[in-house]
C-alpha cells in the first residue's frame, strides 16, 4: 500500500476532495478515519454517495485504521487518508502509520480555536498535535486547494 496523500478536512469527502484532490493524487482508495462517522449510518451513507465513481472507500475508527493501514491490506493501491481533525491524524502517526506529509485543508472554528488562515482554525491542542507530527518527521502544510501554496503550517503559527 502506498499512502499517496494524507489530509485533515472536517468536511471529509466533499466537492474538492472528490473532484480535485482524489484525481490530482491519483488515488485508488479514500480511507476515511473517524470514530464518529463509523457509528453513524447517515454519515456512512453520505460518504458513500460523495465517493467519486471508480474510487474505493474505506471508513474506519482510528483503532481499526491503525490495524488496517499497517497490515498491508491495500498494498497494491494508492491510498488517500482523510481525517476530519488533527488529533486523529496525529494518532495515526503516533500509532506507527508512516506519513511523509500531512495537508491541513479545512478545520472549522471550534472551542478555543483562532484563525491562522482562511479555513484553518486551531486551538492549543491542535498546535501541540501539529508540533508532535513535525517532531516525528512529518511535513505539515496548510493548503485548501492545489492551486494554493503548500507552505509549511509553521509559518502561520504564532
What is the reported pTM? Answer: 0.93
Residues labelled catalytic:
14
pLDDT digits (tens, 9 = 90+) for 34-80: 999 999 999 999 999 999 999 999 999 999 999 999 998 898 999 99
pLDDT digits (tens, 9 = 90+) for 69-115: 999 889 899 999 999 999 999 999 999 999 999 999 999 999 999 99
Dist CA 158 CA 154 (whole Å): 8
Query: Which residue shows C-alpha cell 479514500?
Result: 30
Cell numbers standing for residue 66: 491503525
Walk me through the domains of the chain, giving residue ranges and CATH numbers. 2-155 (3.40.35.10)
Amino acid at each position: 500500500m502506498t499512502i499517496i496523500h494524507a489530509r485533515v478536512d472536517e468536511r471529509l469527502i466533499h466537492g474538492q476532495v472528490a473532484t480535485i484532490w482524489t484525481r490530482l493524487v491519483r488515488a485508488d482508495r479514500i480511507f476515511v478515519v473517524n470514530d464518529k462517522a463509523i457509528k453513524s449510518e447517515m454519515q456512512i451513507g453520505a460518504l458513500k454517495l460523495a465517493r467519486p465513481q471508480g474510487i474505493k472507500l474505506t471508513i474506519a475508527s482510528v483503532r481499526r485504521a491503525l490495524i488496517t493501514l499497517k497490515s498491508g491490506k491495500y498494498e497494491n493501491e494508492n491510498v488517500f487518508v482523510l481525517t476530519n481533525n488533527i488529533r486523529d491524524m496525529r494518532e495515526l502517526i503516533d500509532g506507527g502509520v508512516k506519513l511523509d506529509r500531512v495537508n491541513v485543508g479545512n478545520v472549522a472554528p471550534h472551542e478555543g480555536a483562532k484563525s491562522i488562515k482562511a479555513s484553518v482554525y486551531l486551538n492549543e491542542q491542535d498546535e501541540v498535535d501539529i508540533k508532535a507530527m513535525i517532531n516525528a518527521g512529518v511535513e505539515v502544510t496548510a493548503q485548501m486547494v492545489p492551486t494554493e501554496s503548500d507552505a509549511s503550517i509553521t509559518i502561520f503559527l504564532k
